[in-house]
Chains A and B, each alone.
Chain A
Amino acid sequence: MLNRFVAQNFLSAPANASPWLLLVCLLAGLAGCEQVQSDFVFNEKTQELLPEAEVKVKNTLVSSFGSPAQPTIPAFFPVDRGQITLEIADFDPEKPTELLIEPVETDVDLVGKKLQFLFDPEDQFDVTMEAIEEELPDPIAELDGITIAAYDAESGKLTLSKALPDLELIEPGLELAANPNYKLHQGQFLYEQHCQHCHGVSGSGDGPTARYMEPKPRDYRKGIFKFTSTGSRDHVSTADLKHIIVEGIPGTYMPSFKLLSDESLDLIVNYVKFLAMRGETEGMLNVEVGLDFNKKVLADELEGVTDPKEIEEITTEFKEDMNEFLEVDYPEIAFFGQLDLADAWIEADNEDAIVYASVPQTDPYGPSAADPSLTSIENGRILYLGKDAQCASCHGDGGKGDGFQTRQLQKRREGGDFTVPGLHDDWYNPLKPRDLTSDIYRGGRRPIDVFRRIYVGIKGTPMPAFGGKSLTDQQIWDVVNYVMYLPHEDTMPIPKLPKAEASESPAVSSIE
């Protein structure tokens, strides 16, 4: 386009040649500029693996998840890939480039689309393992890159771009996915427009804009999302992610994307899930492989050994172990690990995973269900300050987010103290407990939202889950009522039950 423009506007005009030459060079430079491809970045733990293991892990990630330009994901992950599902009606092994499929109704032209075979994951795994054992080429890998060369809508005949390998799994009734990662592509495009400059290409929360933000954008790769409606050990649900994108997170730089169409929002959620799954898979592999075979383990074994011969022996032995592990155990670990992750995501979208209150909210000004002698707010206050919940230890007696824990050195998960006093999240960013008087509720301000924050905690942060353990649902409601009353404390007195006979418990009088 630009080149044509240059040709039309510049080359035809008669003039002194030298400036034109300069102009044309300049514009050609503009038009033919170098294309930079963005790519997923592997996390630092992967870089710490020994080279052979590192290559293996990286290969697994690339073959499972592709690149931003070509995102793919194994079919067993619960991500809406936007595929067109076809079903094999008949297959004649004599004609390996042809498939008959059940009739489909689709507006999309199938020709030229990529084709993926949706085998049962475990069957597929067995086939691969068998091939490896017999040192034959993996027939599943041969299916890569097959596209639809022609499609006859009347007979349902698909002509493929290359011959199918001899594989028993290909049989009538097997489902196929045409254009398998269509929605990931679309999601990637939207993610690039709206999210990438903060959350980064790999979803690691380190986009170029991120460095100016407090708090930092979420790093999806741990699969941990703060505000969920699911249980404290569950993954985030799709609805939760969408809720955050629609409503934004007040008090942070995560804005609301309410004006995007529902379809776009779904695509973005989908892509975010994809990034989280990719990151989690990487993390899982790091743990599984890195436990025994990272550079540090080898260095530990070699510590104190000075004899070069011995060093070589230990190293060789170590590498032999590793190669054996990589060949025999690794494929299984990688495959079933991903399958487990996928199951966890599927469960999070299960209706059962969502936390609801077992009792309705208590009237803040009425008697508390947990302790009918007090108003709900009053009882909430006692719980807030008390030993069981210990809210005040972080959030402070007045709810200002200045509890004593914010001034103490905290322990790191893998041992040792943080160098800076105060709380930290799982990404080791310093964290301030919410100032409850500010009237800002990051995870939503409906009573049920605040209830869930207390019930399931805030994942990835020191805010623990109280539900079902230290507090009953009735008590949680009291705390919710007190917390939501806190911003208005200076204009309203703490409500007390009007009845004179409401006996004052010693706890209350000691506090007052």
Chain B
Amino acid sequence: MKRLWWIFFLMIWPVLALVVCAMTPGLKWGFPGDGLSDSTIGVEIDHLFYVILIICTVVFIGTQVAMGYVLWTASSRPADRRAWYSHGNHKLEMIWTVIPGIILLFLALYQTRTWAEFRMNSAYPEAAKTNIIAEVNARQFEWRMRYPAPGKTLERKPQIDDMYQVNELHVPAGTPVTIQLRTQDVQHSFFLPTMRIKQDAVPGMIIPVWFEAKEPGEYPLVCAELCGWGHYKMGAIVIAHPPAEYEAYMKSLHEEQFEDGYIE
């Protein structure tokens, strides 16, 4: 019995871990919603995630099997046979330094394009540079949006005809849009889980964030940086409209916003 512990490390725990991982999508514990990203950049992020996942799974299986195997052989070594006296192997050391090194370097370089696309101004899609639709203002504990009046562009300073909304961000679907992210008080983080978008809102900074909703629909927006006791309450929604409806919606919002409540 004492010797059979290797089974625990080779058979039971890693296998269980793999089984749980394999079951994850079926149990809806994986990516939110249907598991597919709702934004274009999210698709790339998912792809990179799966690349890493595959590499990691292979490494996980490899190392666990190797460890289970050496545990098995080491525990079943006859009592009269001495352990293998070895201080290491230079060639092996070289192999397991260089190969993982190459793989890791590849991984690092493979990531850079998506990162540049997401954050580097020069690599933004063209439309994202011009299509600045709203200022998202985080505050304890809600999201306040400021839109320019229909037909106008967003100014850094609030304008008299700007439109405001709380916990609702309306965007056109199918085109990259940029929001200006800022905070009125403490640090917050603009997190769109189904779109795989996240960016901290830092006091004193205005940070542009672009994303493209693939389809019209409603997507959750939450806060991902501790902002006080009500951190968990900062739920909002991003509503992506078909482009034509978006224009109409903005017009109706403008009307509602400047309603004088006069009934003839």
A259 at the interface (CB under 8 A from B): yes
Contact B142 A487 (CB under 8 A): no
Assuming the contacts A250-B144, A487-B158, asked whether A259 and B164 have C-beta atoms less than 8 A apart, the reply is no
Near A by CB (< 8 A), chain B positions 249-264 give: 256-263
A311 at the interface (CB under 8 A from B): no
Assuming the contacts A259-B237, A439-B158, asked whether A446 and B230 have C-beta atoms less than 8 A apart, the reply is no
Interface centre among B164, B235, B261 (most CB of A within 10 A): B261
Near B by CB (< 8 A), chain A positions 232-248 give: 247-248
- Please count the residue pairs between chain A and chain B whose beta carbons lie under 8 angstroms apart in the complex: 69
Contact B160 A448 (CB under 8 A): no
Pick from B144, B167, B257: contact of A259, CB under 8 Å:
B167
| Closest CB in chain A relative to B254 CB, distance in Å | 11
Contact B235 A359 (CB under 8 A): no
Contact A360 B260 (CB under 8 A): yes
A86–B235 Cα distance when bound, in Å, is 41
B118 at the interface (CB under 8 A from A): no
For A249-277 the 0/1 string (1 means CB < 8 A from B) is 01001011011000000000000000000
Which chain B residue has the least Cβ–Cβ distance from A491?
A: B157
Pick from B158, B160, B166: contact of A250, CB under 8 Å:
B166
- For residue A253, which residues in chain B have a CB less than 8 angstroms away from its CB? 140-141, 230
A368 at the interface (CB under 8 A from B): no
- For residue A209, which residues in chain B have a CB less than 8 angstroms away from its CB? 229
- For residue B160, which residues in chain A have a CB less than 8 angstroms away from its CB? 484-485, 487-488, 492
Near A by CB (< 8 A), chain B positions 158-178 give: 158-160, 164, 166-168
For A276-318 the 0/1 string (1 means CB < 8 A from B) is 0000000000000000000000000000000000000000000
Contact A258 B167 (CB under 8 A): yes
A360–B230 Cα distance when bound, in Å, is 40
| Closest CB in chain A relative to B119 CB, distance in Å | 29
A447 at the interface (CB under 8 A from B): yes
B236 at the interface (CB under 8 A from A): yes
Assuming the contacts A259-B235, A484-B160, asked whether A448 and B259 have C-beta atoms less than 8 A apart, the reply is yes
Contact B263 A356 (CB under 8 A): yes
- For residue A330, which residues in chain B have a CB less than 8 angstroms away from its CB? none
- For residue A250, which residues in chain B have a CB less than 8 angstroms away from its CB? 144, 166
A477–B258 Cα distance when bound, in Å, is 13
Assuming the contacts A253-B140, A259-B236, A356-B263, asked whether A447 and B258 have C-beta atoms less than 8 A apart, the reply is yes
Pick from B230, B237, B261: contact of A255, CB under 8 Å:
B230
A299–B249 Cα distance when bound, in Å, is 67
A485–B141 Cα distance when bound, in Å, is 27
Contact A448 B144 (CB under 8 A): no
For A438-482 the 0/1 string (1 means CB < 8 A from B) is 010000011110011000000000000000000000000100000
Contact B260 A256 (CB under 8 A): no
A-B contact pairs, 5 of them (CB 8 A): A248-B166, A258-B237, A357-B260, A446-B259, A477-B260
Known: A247-B166, A359-B262. 13 other contacts (CB 8 A): A209-B229, A248-B167, A255-B233, A255-B234, A258-B237, A357-B262, A361-B262, A446-B256, A446-B257, A448-B259, A448-B260, A448-B261, A451-B261
Interface residues of A (CB under 8 A from B): 209, 212, 247-248, 250, 253, 255-256, 258-259, 356-361, 439, 445-448, 451-452, 477, 484-485, 487-488, 491-492
